[in-house]
Amino acid sequence: MPKSPFLEGNFAPVEHELAADDLPVRGELPRELAGTFVRNGPNPQFPPLGAYHWLDGDGMLHAVRLENGRASYRNRAVRTRAYELERRRGRALWTGVLERPQFDNPEGATKNTANQALVRHAGRLLALHDQGEPYEIALPELETLGVYSFGRRLRHPLTPHPKLDPRTGELFAFGYSPVAKPHAQYSVIAADGALAHTTAIELPIGVWMHDFAITERWAVFMNHPYTFDVRRFLRGEPIARFEPERGSHLGLMPRRGSGGDLRWFPIAPCFAYHVANAWEEGSEVVLDVIQRAAFDLAAEVEPGNAPPHPTRLWRWRIDLQRGSVREQELDDQNAELPSVNPARVGRRARYVFASRMRSDVRLPLAEGLLKYDLDRGCASQLHRFGPNRNGGEGVFVPRPGGSDEDDGWLLAFVHDESEGRSELLVADARDLTAPPIARVLLPQRVPYGFHGLWVPEDRV
Ligand SMILES: [Fe+2]
């Protein structure tokens, strides 16, 4: 394979699909912790065509099922159309994000790897990717049931971060198109799973829009100037570029509104992959994200001993009366993959969970899990994975019957680089400084990956 840091060490793909029961557990798994932790991530099936970035690999799901204090593991590739086609031909058929898009590829210019995240709604588990339709997955075996298009009503890609309103059960989602107009579309899926509303969002130019937010009344969009321009492509330049001179903009639209209702608010140029949460306070909408000053995908594969841009917990306060936005860095630790208790999505949460990213390497590796207390000046707790141990996202699992917002656990895959072994970490979300409650030792390496999801046992 061509050299890429994302094909080495524990970024390298695994070859086997395994199932194993009664895994060794260090510590004790809480009996109430019953369900399945599933995490999505890249696992390239074939050597890449040209340069390889972490975002490019075919989706693979790694799942740990916990029941009665016991744990079992299974992993399975998502059988996307692209995965099956490449399998039949025996080689990669698409280039990745660091190469020129193949507008002449007879199989389509973009590859939907379904590799980024998962969402569960109206009884369905979906694997998601920035530029494609969702794939439906069945538990507990992780079979791919096929593309799920909401009864052929979905007319746009579905980005990896739809938002589920815990009170209404509605799912809010959008998708963007780098080149074709409209550059973004937005949909609301009713609690029963029916696609109820879609509207086009006109943007001056295609941009990378990975995440958004909801509040009780608003959908909140982020338009950052990582732009896609076919004219650059025709000149032989990379099609995507960070253009700070365009500035960044935050957009507010009523949750069931149309693109014409969108009101944009200019802010200083930056980039944010991920939203922690948003909520309303009087005439203000508050949006907490992980922000970086600039964005450059190619820089991530270059040698270096620091991330290309620090990533911080950041707040925007949109004043609807004045039409202005105040911004504030909430903390200066390198963080990513933020979340709140799912019951607080769209309302003010006290706690934000995130991963603390290493500052001494270029690669996006987490060295621990963070918990910010927004009621106490954003004071943070850190759960360190330990020397030579890296991981990814911590997924908050509420304790059944618990009432405190932080009553529950954080689950994350951690890899021990010295031992070459992976485990599922169960940390106490009430006190992240405490030692792990349990560590489940896994029967094979789990490559570093993207987003995970908890499915309670009664819904598996
Ligand atoms: Fe993401």
364 CA from centroid of ligand 1 (Å): 13
User: Phi and psi at residue 324, in whole multiples of 5°?
Assistant: -125, 165
Instruction: For residue 32, give both structure tokens.
Output: 């109430």
Torsion from C-alpha of 136, 139, 142, 145, nearest 10 degrees: -30
275 CA from centroid of ligand 1 (Å): 9
320 CA from centroid of ligand 1 (Å): 28
102 CA from centroid of ligand 1 (Å): 24
DSSP 95: B
328 CA from centroid of ligand 1 (Å): 22
**Helix (H/G/I), strand (E/B), else coil: 441:** strand
Instruction: For residue 417, give both structure tokens.
Output: 């680089």
pLDDT per residue as tens, the chain (460 positions): 458 999 999 999 999 999 999 999 999 999 999 999 999 999 999 999 999 999 999 999 999 999 999 999 999 999 999 999 999 999 999 999 999 999 999 999 889 999 999 999 999 999 999 989 999 999 999 999 999 999 999 999 999 999 999 999 999 999 999 999 999 999 999 999 999 999 999 999 999 999 999 999 999 999 999 999 999 999 999 999 999 999 999 999 999 999 999 999 999 999 999 999 999 999 999 999 999 999 998 888 888 899 999 999 999 999 999 999 999 999 999 999 999 999 999 999 999 999 999 999 999 999 999 999 999 999 999 999 999 999 999 999 999 999 999 999 999 999 999 999 999 999 999 999 999 999 999 999 999 999 999 999 987 7
**Residues flanking ion ligand 1, Cβ below 5 Å:** 160
Strand partners, 60: 41, 77
d(CA 163, CA 174) in angstroms, rounded, equals 10
8 CA from centroid of ligand 1 (Å): 22
d(CA 298, CA 300) in angstroms, rounded, equals 5
Of the candidates 3, 22, 24, 25, the residue with the CA atom closest to the CA atom of residue 12: 3
128 CA from centroid of ligand 1 (Å): 10
130 CA from centroid of ligand 1 (Å): 9
59 CA from centroid of ligand 1 (Å): 14
116 CA from centroid of ligand 1 (Å): 6
Instruction: For residue 322, give both structure tokens.
Output: 């004045």
